[in-house]
Amino acid sequence: MLSDNRIKAPVQDGVVNQLVQASKVQDWDPSAMLDNLSFLEQKIHQLQDLVHLIIGRKGQVLGRPDELVVQQQQLVTADLTSIIVQLISTAGSLLPSGKHTLPAATPSLEQSGQFGGVVFPSAQGPLNDGFQPQNAGGSKVSGLPNSVDISRKNGNEQNHIIEEHELKDEEDVEEGESLIPGTYEILQLEKEEILAPHTHFCTICGKGFKRDANLRMHMRGHGDEYKTPGALAKPNKESGSEPTIIKRYSCPYTGCKRNKDHKKFQPLKTILCVKNHYKRTHCDKSYICSRCNTKKFSVIADLKTHEKHCGKDKWLCSCGTTFSRKDKLFGHIALFQGHTPAIPLEEAKAPAGPSDQGDGNQSTNKVGSMNFNFSSNVSSESEVQSSTDIKGSIDDPAGYFSPLSFDTCNFGGFHEFPRPPFDDSESSLAFLLSGSCNYPQKSED
Amino acid sequence: METSMEFQSKKKHHHHPLSPHSSSNPFDILTEEIVCKILDHLHDDPSAIKSFSLSCKSFYSIESRHRLTLRPLRAELLPRTFHRYPFISHLDLSLCPRVDDPTLNVISSTWKATLRSINLSRSRFFTNAGLSSLFVNCSGLVEVDLSNATQLTDLAASAIAEAKNLERLSLARCKLITDMGIGCIAVGCRKLKSLCLKWCLRVGDLGVELIALKCKQIRSLDLSYLPITEKCLDSVLQLQHLEDLVLEGCHGIDDDGLSTLEQSCKSLKMINLSNCQNVTHTGLSSLINGTEQLQQIILAYGSSVTSDLAKCLHTYSKLQSIKLDGCIITWSGIKAMACLRAPIKELSFSKCLGLTDDGLSFLVQSHKDLRKLDITCCRKITYTSIDSITSSCTSLISLRMESCSLVSKEAFVLIGERCSFLEELDATDNEIDDEGLKSVSRCSKLSILKLGICPNISDVGLAKVGSCCSQLKELDLYRATAVSDSGIAAIANGCPALEMINIAYNDKITDKSLMSLSKCWMLKALEIRGCLGVSSIGLSAIAVGCKQLTVLDVKKCFNVNDSGMLPLAQFSQNLKQINLSYCSVTDVGLVALASLSRLQNMTILHLAGLTPNGLAAALLACRALTKVKLHASFRPLLSQSILGYIEAHGCIFHWRDKAFQKEMDPKGWKLHFGKSGSEVP
């Protein structure tokens, strides 16, 4: 459950987050700094490679060259931005007070929406072979031009498909719904209400209650018709068949696409959707699977679903992706050149190679100052990594440090902190981009 | 190719008449190229190559460098060859029951650059580690036979996947390999052209489908007895070069599934749907729809042959061979087959109980180009059919008609008169007599003649065969009880190419027969079970004369004793398999036999004079043994450590608990002669 300071800061989470970190990292740790710097060095090298690649491909661009150039620019910009973020945060460990200025540029909603479009192509980039399949395995991402469409979807969608079966819920189902704005009533619960362990919800305002009796008492406030003894006694039968206004719900988190102030606002259908959405997207994943000790969930039902399948994901590809079904693995292998079924080695061989990898991962975890939560990717990535470890060989080491592989490193330190709710990757970087970058992609809408 | 290598100490005693330095060496004027050409012509006779390399140092080194193929007798001998033969590209380890990982490691580092093909189908004790080093080092490997490697798991399959240049792979009976392993191979071995997955029971649709998706070069695919369905066939049929498709015993494939197929394979030449009971003409027609190149179709033990099925085949103008063994054949089906416009060359109706004279006669009249016909156990066939066959199909090369019991003896006269190109005749368990045999002997190209359980043939007929059929290689006279020494003598004199003869259960045969057969220096297999008139004297003559002897069965030759074993041990260096059950051989004879360096397979039940100690000594001395059949009573008498040691060398013991049979004819063969020909002891 959430800590106090999270609840007190419903909107300015970013600021709080930064402050919390700033206070935590005031005692400077040179070895962490070194880790950060070497990590940055790697990033820059990769970016260099990417730019090389772009130069190399210039000659053979067919079709719509303009768009491609734009996308390449975005790609580079996105990476540069990430590097700047890192650099600043590294520097921030020495100058804690400097951080206050950073979040000043509040995330603009449009940009956060777009950022997904920018980020995603880079994840499809050539340097990123290792993780390509996870993106393309289930969603029909065929090439760069599609990325904008994907960015419109729920943030979860562009995370790894592995989680697909776990996160399928009402929340995702309503993608196709297109209600004309104004034809429905938007309700927004406060996060305290969302996170309260309620089971009875007011159909009018959505407020939740632990007991139905309390709900009925509450209902009196909504009008005299609820004050009749019949209404108060037992809600056996629906009182009236009055023309009910369609109710939709808004996420209280500012900047979220599910928030009514978002430009491309997509309302949530039910209170349950709100609850699940809020927990999944803006809350800690405090439920850890006791079997694999890797997967984390914020909704206990998700954990239960996962635990049903945990350990059964035995179908492993050489790229590290696991599948719960053999046919899914074979479909994946049929699709991607060079991927091959991974046969688990005998115990003796298994830990040899990957232990280094694991250690490296650990050391990055300790970098407290780089406490950027890049969304729920974290849990799935760490799963992927651990499963790759089992296999013992990594086809494409670059995959670990792909152009946007900040999220591949599990900045796990933050679980020790009372972490304020944070947005997904889109807006967490967007606040940095807001001032400096102006994406032409905006015009496409 | 057979036993092309031998490692005997004899060469030490060999003298070199031609010193390389002597100027009188006439071979000095020959270039190495010419010598190699000569060497290439010596492949028919394995001992010739050996003599060649022993003749002088320069020949020795030429042979060493020229040799590409190696079939070592035992894996322990391999280290000696590493230095001698640096350019081996084809390594056949089928004589080495034990090939462990260190052996594979050395092989793979020695012939790293040259090895193209390796046969491990009869070897055990290696694991995925050894295979891994083999495939990583020998990147030129094109052909690998890993059949019967029942110990191999998916890890081995992922090792195979390292062989990027592999074109031919057999994994028959690799029962532990699953779709995952096959998936690795599919991804790794993109150049595969031929793949056998027979009896890989854990491989299903997913694995096969991935093979079809990734290995686009596949020509030949054997999927027999796999639990597959039509799901993988769509991908398989999309293979552009697929020629041979074997789906024997794939019970998951049925008409309903096949009807959903959308693909057709234009390149397909052979399809085998044997034992697919759930496939009828509808399934077949959707499977072979559009395969214009189809040449051979095998539907043995499948659904009944109706006119619908036969009509499926009408469009295939290149069809040459149809095998319908064990199918129920209807009259309408035969009629429709007669209307096929393709010139059929090969027909097989073995055990087609419904085949009648009318049907067969009608059929052969419209397929006069027939070369091979198999009507084994078609028990309704009479003289009429043979009359039609012989008058229509005069270019017949092979006729197999075992147990066509209603065919009269006159029919065989017709065969000889009309089918003079015959090379193979199986008349086992038939009424053929000397007149018929005389007529058959007109077929001067006759190479295989089977006259088992033909009590009506005698020395007269055989004499004619001996004088006319000089190319005879295989003669079966099992229970042809009227034959005696003079008949065998005529064969031995007239058929110098004879490689295999069976004279079992004939009490007229004596040592004289064996003495005359000792002239057949090509003889490889001799079976004289239950010939009471045969003794060690005759056997000695065989041992001395027939140096190529590989298989010997003297079961129930009570007069064969140790003195017959001693010459065998001395001369029959090629002997691989022997059955000595019921013989009067003792420890002495058996221990003597143990010196045969190639002896792999021994059946030694009820040897009266055998003691546990003698047996243990023989087993320990026999280093090449792979299979020994012993009476179960010996099991507790032999020390476990000795058994364990021998088994560790790759030998498998078969313990039999058969009671001692006193009578020669316990099943009453003499009473039911010719009436129940199927039972062969």
CA-to-CA separations, B337 to B160, B278, B310, B365, B596, in angstroms, rounded: 45, 21, 5, 11, 54
B157 at A interface, C-beta within 8 A:
yes
CB contact under 8 A, B206 and A338: no
Which run of H or of E encompasses B449?
A: strand B448-450
Q: Out of B187, B207, B213, whose CB is closest to A340?
A: B187
pLDDT value of position A93: 63
Residue in chain A nearest B214 by alpha carbon: A334
Residue in chain A nearest B205 by alpha carbon: A327
pLDDT value of position A276: 85
Enumerate residues 320 to 359 of chain A having a beta carbon within 8 A of any beta carbon in chain B: 326-327, 330, 333-334, 338-341, 343, 345-346
CB contact under 8 A, A330 and B179: yes
* CA end-to-end span of chain B: 31
The number of domains in chain B is 2
Asked if residue B379 belongs to a domain, the reply is: no
- Nearest partner of B268 among B250, B254, B299, B289, judged by Cα: B289
pLDDT value of position A109: 40
Q: How far is B191 from chain A (nearest CA, A)?
A: 14
Q: Which residues of chain B does A350 touch, with a Cβ-Cβ cutoff of 8 Å?
A: none
Task: Kindly state the tokens that stand for A438.
Answer: 């102006």
Helix (H, G, I), strand (E, B) or coil at B347: strand
The residue among B131, B179, B187 with the most chain A CBs within 10 A of its CB, best to mutate, is B187
pLDDT value of position A27: 58
Work out the widest C-alpha separation in chain B, in whole angstroms. 80
Q: How far is B184 from chain A (nearest CA, A)?
A: 5
Give the separation between CA A51 and CA B399, rounded to whole angstroms: 75
Amino acid in the structure at residue A352: A
CA-to-CA separations, B656 to B230, B424, B580, B590, B602, in angstroms, rounded: 43, 36, 14, 19, 13
Task: Kindly state the tokens that stand for B424.
Answer: 């193979």
pLDDT value of position B290: 85
pLDDT value of position B11: 38
DSSP state of B305: B
Give the separation between CA A15 and CA A101, rounded to whole angstroms: 9
Asked if residue B289 belongs to a domain, the reply is: no
Give the separation between CA B314 and CA B318, rounded to whole angstroms: 10
- Identify whether the C-beta of residue A167 lies closer than 8 Å to the C-beta of residue A302: yes
C-alpha torsion B419→B420→B422→B426, nearest 10: 60
pLDDT value of position A231: 65
Residue in chain A nearest B231 by alpha carbon: A327
Give the separation between CA A213 and CA A235, rounded to whole angstroms: 10
Bridge partners (DSSP) of residue B399 are: B373, B425
Asked if residue B626 belongs to a domain, the reply is: yes
Q: Out of B158, B207, B209, whose CB is closest to A343?
A: B158
Asked if residue B19 belongs to a domain, the reply is: yes
CA-to-CA separations, A429 to A402, A403, B548, in angstroms, rounded: 17, 14, 83
Bridge partners (DSSP) of residue B329 are: B305
DSSP states of A36-87: HHHHHHHHHHHHHHHHHHHHHHGGG--S-HHHHHHHHHHHHHHHHHHHHHHH
Q: Which residues of chain A does B158 touch, with a Cβ-Cβ cutoff of 8 Å?
A: 340-341, 343
**How many CB pairs (< 8 A) connect A and B?**
44
Q: How many residues does chain B have?
A: 681
DSSP state of A153: S
- Identify whether the C-beta of residue B445 lies closer than 8 Å to the C-beta of residue B421: yes
Residue in chain A nearest B186 by alpha carbon: A340
- Identify whether the C-beta of residue A10 lies closer than 8 Å to the C-beta of residue A191: yes
Determine the distance from the C-alpha atom of residue B442 to the mean position of all C-alpha atoms in its chain, rounded to a whole number. 28
Kind of pairing between the strands at B168-170 and B474-476: unpaired
- Nearest partner of B534 among B567, B562, B511, B564, judged by Cα: B511
Give the separation between CA B348 and CA B325, rounded to whole angstroms: 6
Q: How far is B155 from chain A (nearest CA, A)?
A: 6
Residue with tokens 């996160």: A167
Burial of A186 (0-12, 13-18, 19+ CB in 10 A): middle
Q: Which residues of chain A does B155 touch, with a Cβ-Cβ cutoff of 8 Å?
A: 343, 345-346
What are residue B170's phi and psi, to 5 degrees?
A: -120, 125
What are residue A186's phi and psi, to 5 degrees?
A: -105, 125
DSSP state of B561: B
Note down the domain range covering B596.
Answer: 587-656
Kindly give, in sequence order, each residue whose CB lies less than 8 Å from that of residue B546, ignoring residues fewer than 6 positions away.
B517, B518, B520, B521, B522, B523, B526, B572
pLDDT value of position A117: 37
Amino acid in the structure at residue B267: S
Give the separation between CA A316 and CA A343, rounded to whole angstroms: 8
Q: How far is A120 from chain B (nearest CA, A)?
A: 28
B209 at A interface, C-beta within 8 A:
yes
Could you tell me the pTM of the whole model? 0.65
Q: Out of B180, B209, B213, whose CB is closest to A341?
A: B180
Q: Which residues of chain B does A338 touch, with a Cβ-Cβ cutoff of 8 Å?
A: 187
Q: How far is B210 from chain A (nearest CA, A)?
A: 6
CB contact under 8 A, B210 and A333: yes
Residue in chain B nearest A327 by alpha carbon: B206
- Nearest partner of A281 among A380, A157, A156, judged by Cα: A156
B188 at A interface, C-beta within 8 A:
yes
Determine the distance from the C-alpha atom of residue B465 to the mean position of all C-alpha atoms in its chain, rounded to a whole number. 26
Task: Kindly state the tokens that stand for B485.
Answer: 């020494």
CB contact under 8 A, A334 and B214: yes
What are residue A209's phi and psi, to 5 degrees?
A: -140, 155
- Nearest partner of A174 among A120, A246, A109, judged by Cα: A246
- Identify whether the C-beta of residue B417 lies closer than 8 Å to the C-beta of residue B389: no
Give the separation between CA A161 and CA B43, rounded to whole angstroms: 62
Give the separation between CA A36 and CA A363, rounded to whole angstroms: 10
- Identify whether the C-beta of residue B517 lies closer than 8 Å to the C-beta of residue B502: no
Asked if residue B224 belongs to a domain, the reply is: no
Asked if residue B536 belongs to a domain, the reply is: no
Q: How far is A337 from chain B (nearest CA, A)?
A: 8
Asked if residue B532 belongs to a domain, the reply is: no
Give the separation between CA B425 and CA B402, rounded to whole angstroms: 9
Give the separation between CA B221 and CA B233, rounded to whole angstroms: 11
Rounded (5°) CA angle B16-B598-B49: 35
Kindly give, in sequence order, each residue whose CB lies less than 8 Å from that of residue B301, ignoring residues fewer than 6 positions away.
B274, B275, B277, B325, B326, B327
The residue among A329, A333, A335 with the most chain B CBs within 10 A of its CB, best to mutate, is A333
Q: How far is B246 from chain A (nearest CA, A)?
A: 23
Buried-exposed string A281-299: b where 16+ CB fall within 10 A, e elsewhere: bbbbbebebeebebbbbbb
Task: Kindly state the tokens that stand for B361.
Answer: 């006669």
Asked if residue B213 belongs to a domain, the reply is: no
- Identify whether the C-beta of residue B331 lies closer than 8 Å to the C-beta of residue B306: no
Bridge partners (DSSP) of residue B98 are: B124
DSSP states of B115-138: --EEE-TT-BS--HHHHHHHHHH-
pLDDT value of position A198: 67
pLDDT value of position B539: 96
Task: Kindly state the tokens that stand for A112.
Answer: 């956060």
- The one-digit pLDDT tens for each residue of chain A (445 residues) are 434 444 343 444 444 444 444 444 445 677 777 887 887 888 888 888 878 877 776 555 454 556 666 777 777 787 788 778 777 777 766 654 443 444 434 444 444 434 433 333 333 334 444 333 343 333 333 334 433 343 344 433 333 433 334 344 444 444 456 667 677 777 787 777 777 666 677 777 777 777 777 887 888 888 777 777 766 665 554 444 555 677 788 888 888 888 888 888 888 888 788 888 888 888 888 888 887 777 788 888 888 888 877 766 678 898 888 888 889 899 999 999 889 998 887 543 433 333 333 333 333 333 333 333 333 333 433 343 433 333 333 344 333 333 333 333 333 333 433 343 443 433 333 343 333 334 444 333 3
Task: Kindly state the tokens that stand for A101.
Answer: 């200025």
CB contact under 8 A, A343 and B188: no
Averaged pLDDT, groups of 10, chain B, 681 residues long: 39 43 67 85 79 87 90 86 92 92 93 95 93 94 96 94 95 95 94 96 95 95 95 92 95 91 90 92 89 93 88 90 93 90 92 90 93 94 95 96 93 95 95 95 96 94 95 96 95 96 94 96 95 95 96 95 95 95 94 92 91 93 91 92 91 90 66 44 39
Last residue of a domain, one of B39, B66, B93: B66
- Nearest partner of B309 among B343, B290, B283, judged by Cα: B283
pLDDT value of position B668: 62
pLDDT value of position B26: 73
> Strands (DSSP E) along B151-218, which ranges?
168-170, 194-196
A317 at B interface, C-beta within 8 A:
no
- Nearest partner of A424 among A358, A366, A349, A373, judged by Cα: A373
Burial of B363 (0-12, 13-18, 19+ CB in 10 A): buried
Last residue of a domain, one of B13, B40, B66: B66
| CB atoms closer than 10 angstroms to residue B89 | 20
- Identify whether the C-beta of residue B439 lies closer than 8 Å to the C-beta of residue B468: no
Give the separation between CA B134 and CA B156, rounded to whole angstroms: 11
- Identify whether the C-beta of residue B544 lies closer than 8 Å to the C-beta of residue B515: no
Q: Out of B181, B213, B214, whose CB is closest to A343?
A: B181
pLDDT value of position B55: 85
- Identify whether the C-beta of residue B360 lies closer than 8 Å to the C-beta of residue B381: yes
Q: Which residues of chain A does B179 touch, with a Cβ-Cβ cutoff of 8 Å?
A: 326, 330, 341
